[in-house]
Structure 1
């Protein structure tokens, strides 16, 4: 009986050992480095400095700028990715001929590497790129729009790539939820006089609340960790206008070699993402999944 109780742990041991070496132990080291500092170089042991790194973080204007950019990313991107994919899923859920090709077309950006997508969109945003040629061809503007070189437009241009790449992914999540809703509900609503988009307002939206909440949490966590788009398209510029907190962590850790300071910001980011996860656990249980 005792040997049988140890059997599950023996199966879990290889995975737990690998997670300990690659996740748990590095996380503990990063936590320690957040309260220490390398005095001379990275080859000497770090010195414990307590809350000094957090005091530096409090006085760092660039950090607050990146934090504001990340918050703006959340405010703009998350509502779009919570609503637009649902509308897209409703459209591709129609029993039309060849609808599977439309689903594949909308999902195709998801399988494209973000690096490839970022390079392609950087070409589209170029002064002589397709978007500026289209704008000038329609005589909407005489000069090219500085999509990636304007402090007012750079961050929103990067957001557009994030939305474009995430639409298909969240569309599939919503599509799974829509196909779980019984068609009898729509038939009963039609008998009561509800038709068209009114049915979606009365039936689809209430039953899709759990999926909308899930998509909101996932997209919010992804938005706080955005990096590849910024790295490929703007490098955080111009004037730190598109620099996010994850890119600032990368910049301090691998370009300036300020490992301790980067770990401090990483700890702040971890606490923020942890709060979003706890929010998901607290409120996600209060929403029942729709039954077919």
Structure 2
């Protein structure tokens, strides 16, 4: 285990500790870090751009219930002993292993005014021809959310598929023999059996939603008019554009605390309002 632990210490533990230290300093790479106490955190409290980014990150949480429900539905669909079912499982999983640089470029093209998505929406009367989903502040964030949904369904599908296959078939068969409908079997047998998987998937997707960055960086760079400017993109911009590493580290700590809080709430809700010791 020593090589793994060494890498963990080098690339995870040490950056966390050093980043926490930087949050209490002014640091721009050129000069040594200067300790400033809670100055960065006090500045964050009055930074409208940061809290606007936090608000957009919280909006991104709308993806969580949708992606979980859709992933469960797809997992149940591919959990049937049908011919060529392995092909469909692989097809649903392909977006997960595709680089987001590629995915982002493809969907950015599809969302353009001359792209296929706009063409379909225009001919359905749902959108004006001179608009684009990524160029409209009212729709840009939701367009990026859809890409996250499209790319992430396959990942959670695999986890739910494993959960479904761990549920004993005899339980479902016994329920059917007792006269239960498909819906009753799903609610009373399948969902309780999936509860541990739902907990894990909900936690992962909640934390990922609050910390969304790749999609924004590749597709919108926070625009238009800051409508997709998320909390983690704020941290990136302060560190690598403004070179305020201490301020960016403070923002990162606040984001980590927010993620932790939502993780605890999600854990309690998924466990039925209680946490076992």
Alignment match of 1:46 (pick from 6, 19, 33): 33
Shift of 1:42: 2.8
CA shift in 2, pair 1:61/1:16, >3 Å:
same
Q: Which runs of 5+ in 2 are unaligned?
A: none
What TM-score do you get using the length of structure 2 for normalisation? 0.91
Q: What does residue 71 of structure 1 align with? A: 58
Whole-angstrom CA distance in 1 between matches of 2:196 and 2:103: 30
Whole-angstrom CA distance in 2 between matches of 1:68 and 1:215: 23
Shift of 1:126: 0.4
| Larger relative contact order (CA 8 Å, sep ≥ 6) | 2
Query: Would the aligned equivalents of 1:154 and 1:238 in 2 still touch at CA under 8 Å?
Result: yes
Whole-angstrom CA distance in 2 between matches of 1:268 and 1:163: 25
What SS does the corresponding residue of 1:53 show, helix, strand or coil? Answer: helix
Query: Would the aligned equivalents of 2:202 and 2:266 in 1 still touch at CA under 8 Å?
Result: no
What SS does the corresponding residue of 1:95 show, helix, strand or coil? Answer: coil
Shift of 1:144: 4.4
Alignment match of 1:20 (pick from 9, 17, 21): 9
Check if 1:62 corresponds to 2:53: no
Whole-angstrom CA distance in 1 between matches of 2:44 and 2:241: 18
Check if 1:227 corresponds to 2:213: yes
Aligned-pair Cα RMSD in Å: 2.3
Larger Cα-atom Rg: 1
Whole-angstrom CA distance in 1 between matches of 2:94 and 2:182: 28
Shift of 1:141: 4.2
Whole-angstrom CA distance in 2 between matches of 1:139 and 1:24: 53
Shift of 1:157: 0.5
Matches within 5 A, 1:94-109: 94-109=80-95
Whole-angstrom CA distance in 2 between matches of 1:181 and 1:227: 36
Whole-angstrom CA distance in 1 between matches of 2:11 and 2:275: 35
Query: Would the aligned equivalents of 1:85 and 1:170 in 2 still touch at CA under 8 Å?
Result: yes
What is the number of equivalent residue pairs in this alignment?
274
What TM-score do you get using the length of structure 1 for normalisation? 0.86
Q: What does residue 135 of structure 2 align with? A: 149
